[in-house]
Amino acid sequence: MMMWGLCLLCVVMGLAPVHAAPVKTAGSTEDVNVLMFGVIQFGESLNYVFETTEAKIARIAKTLNGHEGALRRLGEQTEQAAEVEKKIKEVIALLQDQISKQQAETKMTEGQLAHIQQEEMALWTKVRRLEMYLKSTSPTSIKDLQERTALNASILKGLQHLMQFQKQNMENHNQQILTLQKMSEAL
């Protein structure tokens, strides 16, 4: 719209000297026609430049809007990636904490198992001594010794069951530790 105003201004300016001066010859009318034709062509050129510039500006604005949308989506994806990374770090920390606890429980269980094994060995030693003592003692005290031996044997069996339970518990802890380690390595 502004471009048309500029074109009309140029046309009016080009015609102003023609009306102010008297027409002298036929050659000057031809000059005026040539000037008018030039002004019209100049106006059309300016209009074309205006329209193409306006179209270019519209394309640039559209491209910028597209880039802004892509940047916004990229920003959202970056935020999501940061959130996922934070959650992964939290999971790894939890897994490491669980692994530490499992390892501590395994060491404690190993210590208990070693203690039970020592007690078992001590009881077997006592049972052997009692058996040897039974062989060398009189028949009245043999009955007492047999009762003691039966009691010690039942205690020994109980300790064996407890030791077996502790071994199984330790194997379970070791398996859990391996599983947790594999999970933390996979992350």
pLDDT in tens, 73-86: 999 999 999 999 99
The pTM of the full predicted model, rounded to 2 decimals, is 0.43
Give yes or no for residue 142 having a pLDDT over 80.
no
Proportion of the chain above pLDDT 70, given as a percent: 82
Give yes or no for residue 6 having a pLDDT over 60.
no
Give yes or no for residue 9 having a pLDDT over 70.
no
pLDDT at 83: 92
Please name the residue that has the structure tokens 């070791």.
Answer: 174
| Average pLDDT of span 103-116 | 85
pLDDT at 18: 46
Q: Is 10 exposed, middle or buried (0-12, 13-18, 19+ CB in 10 A)?
A: middle
pLDDT at 91: 87
Give yes or no for residue 26 having a pLDDT over 70.
no
Instruction: Show the tokens assigned to 28.
Output: 């000057």
pLDDT bracket for residue 162 (50, 70, 90): confident
Its sign, for the CA torsion 47, 52, 54, 55, is positive
pLDDT at 79: 92
Contact between residue 29 and residue 15 where contact means Cβ atoms under 8 Å apart: no
As a whole number, the mean pLDDT across the chain is: 80
